[in-house]
Structure 1
Amino acid sequence: MTVRFCWAIEASEKMQPADHDDDQSGAFWQRVQTVVSTQCTTHEQIDDCLRSFLEASTDGFLDTEYDIARCCYRLIDSPLFLQNKDYVRRQFVYCLLQEEHAPVLHIVTAVLLYDGRSDEAVFEMMQTEGAFARLLDLVQGNKDDSTGLHRLLLELLCDMSRIQRLSLDDLATVDDAFVIYLFELIEELSNDANDPYHYPTIRVLLILNEQYMCYAVSPELHPTLTNRIIKVLSNHGPAYRTFGENLILLLNRESALGPQLLILKLLYLLFTTPPTFEYFYTNDLHVLVDVIIRNLLDLDPGSDDEDHPDVSKDGGGQRALRHTYLRVLCPLLKNTQLAHENAHYKREELRKLFCLLVNRSSFHFSPVDETVVRLVSRCRQVAWIRDESDHEDPVSPPTDAHVAKRLLGMNLAEAGESSLSVLDVSAKVEKEKPMVPAPRRRKRLQQQQSKETVLLRVSPNNAQNGERSPFDDDNNEE
């Protein structure tokens, strides 16, 4: 039976940047390699090797993130780990739950993060062992860490929560104080959009929002669950506008399917919750409209056809992405400052976009799907977007006849009609003279008939009783 324990490491001041010569560095990596290459047959021997590994890795030789990752992969790719995966992983999870020493926590967090990114079973094990609440405490307690531990904890929390549904008990441990802590962290780093803490912190908030939305599908089963992200922004939105600015910035830069959907889902909630209707600055809304117009135009309406195996993995979800963009666009145009008088932005460009989305067909000539038509119709009903001509020409999906005429120059309605009657055709056939073979063709036919005659001719001498052979050629008669 596995017993939880914490490896005792005497390293109070270790893992600090220091100057090392090549000989010392070479000796260190040789030491690590020797430890992870040890053959172990019992759990006690494995525990001794893991202690030795942590002692070596916190001995002050790992000065950069690259060195830490290199050291972790030495263990992950070693026989010690590969032959005892489940046990070693569980021991590292137990160490994460109990360890308080920052240098050891740094290595343990890095090992779990890098191993989990190649095998999600690590994150599932962490969930089973109740590591989520522990990670929340560690993230809040290591804010001032300068060695990169805080960022690794954020990434581990994010990746663990991304691949699986959290339990209600886990979500209950997320309180307003933790969410406010993350928003304040973003505000403190607002002067540097490229700061490495920015993206992991925003991703944690986006994934927590996704977890809340998963349970919001059936609110009658979870009446006490509150979306803390929306709650904090509803009560203190103006104080945390840097988060909104970064959302639009990330949406503008992001090309992967998953992150775009996470951002759009949070934007939808912000634009459909009255207290957050005007959370964004007007200029930021203008940028968001530009981004949505561009991305909707860039999405290929036929790229997610399941019958085409050459479509990229992300391309298979472009239909869902296109629907989500349109679902966000409607409340954006209807509920925000863009609906105010004299604040309408790019009305004509939006109307052209809607017309194009409805009438544009995919590469295999099929009409746009009905969901797009319905969502576009909803957007065109926004007061400042609607035009008088919309009532006369309601939005409707193009028929097969329209698609054929536009793309192939065909008119299906006239395809079955003919300007000639049956009598006219018959008269023309009757008046047509039989075709006379060409001279060369006639000569060839005569030669062929002559050969056949020779083959079938029977000599009259073979006739019996003086009778003439029925096969005798009439031309030989005198």
Structure 2
Amino acid sequence: MDEFEYTLDNEQQFWDELDDIVGTKCSSHGLIDNALRSYLHFVSKFKDEYIQSDYDVARCIQKLLRSEIFELNKEYVRIQLIHCLLQEDEPATLHFLTGFLLFDGRQNEATFEKMVQEGCFQRLIELIKQGRREDPRLHRLLLEVLYESSRMQRLDAEDLGHVDDEFVTCLFQIIEELSDDVDDPYHYPVIRVLLVLNEQYMVAATSSPVEGQLPSSPLTNRVIKLLGIHGHPYKTFGENIILLLNRETETSLQLLILKLLYLLFTTSATHEYFYFNDLRVLLDVIIRNLLDLPDELISLRHTYLRVLYPLLAHSQLNEEPYYKRDEIIKVLRSLRKSGTAHWEPADETTIRLVDRVAKVPWLRDDDIQEGEVARKILGISLSPSQTGSSISVVDVAAVSEKPGVQTPSRNDEPAHDTNGHVKDAPPLNLTPSEIGKSEHRTEHTTRRGRRYPPPPVPMSRLTKLSNLENGKKLPPKAPPRRRTKLKTVSASELIAAESQVSHHS
């Protein structure tokens, strides 16, 4: 079919002509192909002139998604556009192809599954490697599609084999650069791709070979490998995943972050990847979430506990001064309780994981023997066989949650301090300017100087505020202690001073 040469005078003519193209009646596959070619040619030709924003791109894509062409021939249109993605090199056309598959895949998971089956994973890796400088909006869409299609299903060894050190290094370098997008200062799509790649490596490493096939050589987890070899230049990535864990409400994304943290704290080369101050913030977040998670999310709580043990045992938190030792012990006691008005009885796995955390040497007194940890700290008695733990990377890799499910809170309205922040945890809506107000970073900062907020309000002040809210009368505040010594005055000197005052009066 010969391509028409369109001449338009204004934007309204563009949208009217686009409606005519997607409204074409198609009774055969040949006519559908012609309509799709006309659509892609038209929107690509006028992309720079009449499609100025992401909203305009989405509007063009929605017109095709809601058209009769697609509604009556969904599978055929999808496979044709997937094949176009595999062959197309024009950035403008790729923008609309990628956007359509992303929008459609979020409504229909089978689209992403079909993309991987047709070999789109390798193609997306190639396109992301190419000029991201030329079209940042296209680059972001490609990252979104790679993430969404990879988290929906397990990738095979051949697909993961296309991920090389150059590709992962490029992603880390993007995060370290100053963002050009003011609405996305933390390069969220890039971080999510790294997280989902790490999970794919974990699943591949812990899966049994398919019956009838020879076991293949283990794949190298290139995310952990590069952080272990070149971790220092990529500190911003570490700061950002802690920030995202603090903010994230989607359960599946929390699990992706926790799986990466687990590997970082159980791999000797990355034990000290994070700055000490970032570790303190991470511990605050874990403590808050362990206490806040409802009982129905027991697998997520187990994952937090599995990360907590290597965090306390292998990172810089294993050095004096021990951060929040008493608070950690209180959390362990709460999780181990056999049932209260707010807690269901602890399950066997929780008891085992809590006991494992309690064995961290700096959480117990020096005179306690290992078999007495549970009795001394948690007030329970376990036999030596019961104090063991079968924790492994398999347990962490196996836990999963459907994307989009939000993590509920145990408390509808958690306690807040005077600034509106959750007590004993960093706020959920930190901004770069707020992060920069931290007072206790002990290591040198990264290029952006991103820091975290000061410690929470002291408990004495929170108790006072709580009493005021409940209408309780508080006793008068004691006067401050004097900083200077009072001079000893004799009785005769005191009488002389009083007479002098009277004389002047």
Structures share fold, TM-score greater than 0.5: yes
The Cα RMSD (Å) is 2.6
Q: 1:395: how far off? A: 4.3
**Which of residues 50, 54, 60 is equivalent to 1:65?**
54
Task: Return the structure number with greater relative CO, CA threshold 8 A, min gap 6.
Answer: 2
Q: Quick one: which amino acid aligns to residue 259 of structure 1?
A: L
**Which of residues 78, 88, 94 is equivalent to 1:89?**
78
Q: 2:168 maps to which residue?
A: 179
8 Å CA contact 2:265, 2:314 repeated in 1: yes
Q: 1:369 maps to which residue?
A: 347
CA distance in structure 1 between the partners assigned to 2:119 and 2:262 by the alignment: 31
Q: Secondary structure at the match of 2:155?
A: coil
Q: 1:75 maps to which residue?
A: 64
Distance 1:116 1:27, change over 3 A: same
Q: 1:54 maps to which residue?
A: 40
- Deviation track 1:329-385 (CA, whole Å, cap 9, x = no partner) reads 000000011112x23101011111111111163669741111111111111110100
Matched, 1:209 2:198: yes
CA distance in structure 2 between the partners assigned to 1:85 and 1:25 by the alignment: 29
Distance 1:222 1:397, change over 3 A: farther
Matched, 1:380 2:358: yes
1:122-141 to 2 correspondence within 5 Å?
122-141=111-130
Matched, 1:253 2:242: no
CA distance in structure 1 between the partners assigned to 2:11 and 2:304 by the alignment: 52
Q: Quick one: which amino acid aligns to residue 180 of structure 1?
A: T
Q: Secondary structure at the match of 1:39?
A: coil
Q: 1:268 maps to which residue?
A: 262
Distance 1:283 1:356, change over 3 A: same
CA distance in structure 1 between the partners assigned to 2:96 and 2:181 by the alignment: 27
CA distance in structure 2 between the partners assigned to 1:240 and 1:169 by the alignment: 28
- Residue identity over aligned pairs, in percent, reads 51
- Deviation track 1:404-435 (CA, whole Å, cap 9, x = no partner) reads xxxxxxxxxxxxxxxxxxxxxxxxxxxxxxxx
CA distance in structure 2 between the partners assigned to 1:74 and 1:108 by the alignment: 13
For the pair shown, which has the larger CA radius of gyration, 1 or 2? Answer: 1
Distance 1:366 1:293, change over 3 A: closer
Distance 1:362 1:201, change over 3 A: farther
8 Å CA contact 1:296, 1:322 repeated in 2: yes
Unaligned runs of 5+ in 2: 210-214, 382-505
Q: 1:294 maps to which residue?
A: 288
**Which of residues 309, 312, 337 is equivalent to 1:333?**
312
Q: Quick one: which amino acid aligns to residue 208 of structure 1?
A: L
- Deviation track 1:259-317 (CA, whole Å, cap 9, x = no partner) reads 0000000000000000000000000000000000111111123xx1xxxxxxxxxxxxx
Q: 1:432 maps to which residue?
A: none
Q: 1:436 maps to which residue?
A: none
Number of aligned residue pairs: 368
- Deviation track 1:180-223 (CA, whole Å, cap 9, x = no partner) reads 01001111136988526710000000000110111111478343
Unaligned runs of 5+ in 1: 1-6, 15-19, 305-317, 399-478
Distance 1:45 1:353, change over 3 A: same
CA distance in structure 1 between the partners assigned to 2:133 and 2:291 by the alignment: 44
**Which of residues 138, 141, 144 is equivalent to 2:133?**
144
Q: Quick one: which amino acid aligns to residue 253 of structure 1?
A: R
CA distance in structure 2 between the partners assigned to 1:117 and 1:391 by the alignment: 47
TM-score if structure 2 supplies the norm length? Answer: 0.69
Q: 1:393: how far off? A: 3.8
Structure 1 consecutive aligned stretches of length 4 or more whose deviation exceeds 2 Å: 7-11, 189-197, 218-224, 360-366, 387-398
TM-score if structure 1 supplies the norm length? Answer: 0.72
Distance 1:157 1:128, change over 3 A: same
